Amino acid sequence: MSKVLIIGCGGVAQVVVHKCCQHSDIFSEICLASRTKSKCDALKAKLAGKTKTKITTRQVDADNVQELIQLIQEEKPKLVMNIALPYQDLTIMEACLKCKVDYLDTANFEPEDTNDPIWRARYEKRCKEKGFTALFDYSYQWEYHEKFKNAGITAILGSGFDPGVTQVFCAYAQKHFFDQIDTIDILDCNGGDHGYPFATNFNPEINLREVSSAGSYFENGKWIEIPAMSIKREYNFAEVGQKDMYLLHHEEIESLAKNIKGVQRIRFFMTFGQSYLTHMQCLENVGMLSTTPVEFEGKEIVPIQFLKKLLPDPASLGPRTKGKTNIGCIFTGKKDGKEKSIYIYNVCDHQECYKEVGSQAVAYTTGVPAMIGAMLFLKGLWTLKGVHTLEEFDPDPFMEALNLCGLPWKIEENPTRVE
């Protein structure tokens, strides 16, 4: 019986709250706090009478450490779940450290202001040293490892699907199927159709920043960077069909390269339709994906934030999205001296998710693992002190919970490999 503080009330948080409320024996109380309190109140009203979990709501600016400390001290949660944006990771971690309260999030830190000279100097150094130019990396959060450990608290980083479940699949493959994993291909296929010419399935700013950046993969101890969308493959996904997919940089490659010993290559592919790519290219060409403020009629606006205002809210796509997602990892390697290859994956149906919690599958596949990570922490099963990504914990209770909580997985032996 524990109280959690959930920060953020967007598309993913709606699923997290719904799923926690299905497990009132563990999540006896939720304080839901976000920038716009009315969204928290609306969600609370939606769940009234449907759960034994007690929900209270608060307003908070999660960019402000002092405000967060005050909120945590007043609410006294057992765990803080950061379901806001990657921009808030460090402020929320800092507040958790000050209050000695445990922490969980779904995406690694990324700065909102990429023109901040202090951040930029460190970023440019990292680009040169590591060889990838993504705006995010784990170093900022890993710097908290010793501090969290000394404070006797846990940070669970990236408890969504990818990052998140994909790393649990890696730990599970390592524990049960391989003596040595040689290659990992993470495949993220969304075969869903929402009927709009262009919309993103989660926060547009974060999503478009990610997919318009250079791609990269990890091979033989080094990062190899390629122009955005320049490596394309076709893959025939179970229950979805043939799709085009493109190699992207993705945050879990960085932690897996560190934690899966001896791995030779890690790549990440995501499917995109031609319409999405054409729209994105056009928006990029005209400067609408820029994060640099421009002056417009006497007011400063950030183009990508203005674009977010125009695009459909991902949280509203639930009723319209039809089709399935198929996300998983293809592993090759050796077991008992023999070559082996498996695909561990989950298929999730957009309409089934909508029926259950009122959201599409991208929010669902992120929100359910966030709830499971929190549940395992609260049950005392995932309590390693310090800052950790999901492949560092025992995968077995998480894999079991996926099957019970709406994201069942399958294993295919000798799957078709990606060239």
The least CB distance from residue 158 to ligand NDP, in Å, is: 6
Enter the DSSP assignment of 161: T
Q: Which residue's CB is nearer to ligand NDP, number 163 or number 333?
A: 163
Q: Which residue's CB is nearer to ligand NDP, number 10 or number 333?
A: 10
Q: Which residue's CB is nearer to ligand NDP, number 105 or number 333?
A: 105
List 344's β-bridge partners, or say none: 329, 411
Q: Which residue's CB is nearer to ligand NDP, number 108 or number 341?
A: 108
The least CB distance from residue 38 to ligand NDP, in Å, is: 9
Whole-angstrom distance, CA of residue 35 vs CA of residue 126: 32
Q: Which residue's CB is nearer to ligand NDP, number 39 or number 340?
A: 39
Residues near ligand NDP (CB under 6 A) are 8-13, 34-36, 39, 60-63, 83-86, 88, 106-107, 158, 160-164, 202-203, 206, 314-315, 366
Work out whether the CA dihedral 184, 161, 103, 62 comes out positive or negative: positive
Q: Which two tokens stand for residue 403?
A: 């099957």
Enter the DSSP assignment of 417: P
Q: Which residue's CB is nearer to ligand NDP, number 210 or number 341?
A: 210
Stated as kind and residue range, the H or E segment containing 318 is none
The least CB distance from residue 284 to ligand NDP, in Å, is: 20
The least CB distance from residue 367 to ligand NDP, in Å, is: 8
Stated as kind and residue range, the H or E segment containing 11 is helix 11-21
**End-to-end C-alpha distance for the chain, whole angstroms:** 49
List 164's β-bridge partners, or say none: 160
Amino acid letter at 277? Answer: L
The least CB distance from residue 188 to ligand NDP, in Å, is: 8
The least CB distance from residue 206 to ligand NDP, in Å, is: 4
Whole-angstrom distance, CA of residue 228 vs CA of residue 379: 42
The least CB distance from residue 12 to ligand NDP, in Å, is: 3
The least CB distance from residue 165 to ligand NDP, in Å, is: 8
Q: Which residue's CB is nearer to ligand NDP, number 8 or number 192?
A: 8
The least CB distance from residue 36 to ligand NDP, in Å, is: 4
Neighbouring CB atoms inside 10 A of 345's CB total 24
- 39, 14 in Cβ contact below 8 A? no
Q: Which residue's CB is nearer to ligand NDP, number 151 or number 372?
A: 372
> Alpha helices, DSSP H only, in 56-164?
65-75, 89-99, 117-130, 139-142, 145-151
Q: Which residue's CB is nearer to ligand NDP, number 83 or number 407?
A: 83
Task: Measure Cα distances from 133 to 85, 123, 186, 208, 287 in Å.
Answer: 20, 8, 20, 15, 19
Whole-angstrom distance, CA of residue 94 vs CA of residue 136: 18
Amino acid letter at 331? Answer: F
Label residue 77 exposed, middle or buried (CB < 10 Å: 0-12, 13-18, 19+): buried
